[in-house]
Amino acid sequence: MSHRSVVIAAAVNNEQILADTLALSPDLTSGRVKFIPVRAAESASAAYNTVLSETTADLVIFVHQDVYLPAGWVALILSEALRLDQESPDWAVMGVYGITREGKHLGRIWSGDQQLELVGDGGLSGAIASLDEVVLILRTNAGLSFDPDLPHFHMYGTDIVQMAASAGRSAHVIQAPVVHNTIPVVSLAGGFTAGYRFLQKKWAVRLPIVTSMTTITHAGLPLFRARARHWWYSRRMIKRSGIEPPRVTDVVALAKAVGYESIVNA
């Protein structure tokens, strides 16, 4: 089948970040692609399920509000969807950065808080265990939705991949780099830990599950290592970039400068 209809959706809690990043994406400024913002959501799952219940699009592209999509990006997604229809007819979800069951990183993305490109270990094939939440593309006729019981705004990229696998569906990483203009997050306590605990129980029979930030295990020791590591790392990053006031990045120029538009339009 062909994927003719596509929408872009985001959970929005900061209008300035949205205006300075996602809203500058040419696919949105041109009005070619419909944008569905969800404001004041209590969790990513709740926000994204609202979108799924309101759209009849074949593909729903869920992105963070702090992501810039280079010119030509949605056209690339449509062609990648068609390719997957042929090569992996069972596909349900794709992302631009993810990790395999063996812990191999796949994809590429610009990381704003680190001011560098994250590049995977090479190649894009492998059994995906987790997709980075920065971009998640759902094929709606696969019938998946987000778990309404998963709290906060973390771990839903891992959860949706695991749910796809439970339904006999596959997840994929494609080469479609974006600029993630994120600012350093101070702590993985709170929402991240709550998400970790939720998945620990939900997927107990499948553990360990590798994610890009940590590994979900029965005992949960990697969570504490990740929290400690992240705390030191974010303090360093905040010191370097200065979180007050937030650093302003010209995402349009950056995407061009790092060559993303030539990759996307190759």
Binding footprint of Mn ion on the chain (CB under 5 A)? 64, 66, 182
| CA atoms lying within 13 Å on the CB side of residue 17 | 20
Query: Would you say 98 or 126 has its CB closer to Mn ion?
Result: 98
User: 208: cis peptide before it, omega within 30°?
Assistant: yes
| 250 conformational bin, left if phi > 0, alpha if psi -120 to 50, beta if neither | beta
Q: How far is the CB of 183 from Mn ion (least distance, A)?
A: 9
Q: Minimum Å distance from CB 64 to Mn ion?
A: 3
Does residue 222 have a cis bond before it (omega within 30 degrees)?
A: no
Paired strand residues for 111: 116, 180
* Assigned token pair, 74: 């949605």
DSSP sequence for 104-127: -EEEEEEETTTTEEEE-SS-S-S-
Q: What's the closest the beta carbon of residue 259 comes to Mn ion, in angstroms? A: 21
Nearer to Mn ion by Cβ, of 114 and 200: the residue is 114
* Distance in Å, CB of 218 to Mn ion, minimum: 29
CB of 182 to Mn ion, least distance (A): 4
Q: What are the strands, taking DSSP E only, across the chain?
A: 6-12, 34-39, 59-63, 67-68, 91-95, 97-100, 105-111, 116-119, 128-131, 135-139, 170-173, 179-180, 209-210, 215-216
- Return the number of the residue (88 or 182) whose C-beta is nearest Mn ion: 182
Question: Cβ closer to Mn ion: 13 or 145?
Answer: 13
Cβ closest to Mn ion, residue 145 vs residue 182: 182
- The smaller minimum CB distance to Mn ion, of residues 45 and 140, is found at 45
Shortest distance in whole angstroms from residue 15 CB to Mn ion: 15
Structure tokens at 11: 């959970």
Between CA 218 and CA 26 the distance in angstroms is 44
Give, rounded to a whole angstrom, the gap between the first and last alpha carbons of the chain: 24
Residue nearest Mn ion (C-beta atom): 64
